[in-house]
Amino acid sequence: MPNRPVAGLILLLVMLVPSTMRAETAASELVAEGQRLAGNLCAKCHMNEGQGEKQGPMGIPGFRAVANRPSQTFEDVVGWLNSVPAMMPNHNLSGHEIDALAAFIMSLRESR
């Protein structure tokens, strides 16, 4: 019979694994949903081959460049999308759609 601390640790690990897997699955589903939205709504302007950071005040940045801005965060992208920037069409996105797009954009960030 295992001692109680070891048995408790094993039970805790068994309980945590499924929730971690569910969280990872939910996150990857959100990224996939954001990628679909981006492909349908944003690709023409933000997902062009070789597109980088915007050049000049009227330039349009690629999503990879947005994700790789030095201090960019998921929350920053969500805030920007919620602001409905004047230079972008208003797609009347729901909060969930904004989260999905932000998750997809930030999934393009290169590890540092």
Cα–Cα distance measured from residue 78 to residue 94, given in angstroms and rounded to the nearest whole number: 11
pTM value is 0.76
What single-letter amino acid sits at 19?
S
Q: Say how far apart CA 101 and CA 99 lie, in whole Å.
A: 6
For tokens 């999934």, the residue is 107
CA distance 25 to 12: 20
- For the record, the structure tokens of 3 come out as 């001692």
Rounded Cα distance, 33 and 93, in Å: 13
pLDDT > 50? residue 1: no
> Which residue ranges make up each domain of the chain?
4-107
CATH number, span 4-107: 1.10.760
Positive or negative torsion for Cα 109, 75, 39, 20: positive
pLDDT digits (tens, 9 = 90+) for 60-97: 999 999 999 999 999 999 999 999 788 888 899 999 99
pLDDT tens per residue, range 5-42? 666 666 666 666 666 666 677 788 899 999 999 999 99
CA dihedral 58, 48, 68, 19 (to 10 degrees): 130
